[in-house]
Amino acid sequence: MIENDSTPLSKKEQKILENVIKKSGRTVKNNDTFEYDLKFGQEFEHKLGQILANKKVEVKTERGIKDKKNKWNESGNIFIEKSSSGHSSGIKTTKAEYWIQVLEYENEMFCGLIFETSMLQKMVKTMYQKGEWKEVSGGSERNPTKGILIPLSDLFKKQNILPDKFMTEDNK
């Protein structure tokens, strides 16, 4: 469980952390003080805590199985489901405010990607319509699924992070 501990650091604790950062040789640009970074970090700890505690979240897990093809760790892709057994499902029907895509490897959580659901829906729709991401089929004969295959590297391209890119007349 994640808890938001907004208790300010004592002067002594703050000094210790400042010294650790100085000794590490790492610097942070675009701020003036340690307090600025601390406050920024605490704000996002609080936001994440609020998401996990108070928002509706859908969690999907990508399996990473050693020596198996078409798994995220081999292909570099994630699969976002949009239909199952001929009916809309997944990203098209979720009521969740946030979508978490967990990347699993050998039964351990490697990492998780957290999306505001409406943003992910817009990204999927826009990138699919532009032909940049493709639809694929999967599942079994009894439970066929369709979805969008998304290269993980695409999620971190600057042009794909900008929200305005996904605001078209069709999805405003």
Q: Exposed, middle or buried: residue 24 (CB in 10 Å: 0-12, 13-18, 19+)? A: exposed
- Residue 50: pLDDT above 90? no
C-alpha 121/C-alpha 143 separation (Å) is 23
Global pTM reads: 0.70
Using CA atoms, how far apart are residues 26 and 63, in angstroms rounded to an integer? 35
Lowest mean pLDDT, pick from 66-80, 86-100, 116-130: 66-80
Choose between 1 and 27: higher pLDDT: 27
Distances (CA, A) of 26 to 11, 22, 114, 140: 21, 7, 27, 50
Average pLDDT, integer, range 41-46: 86
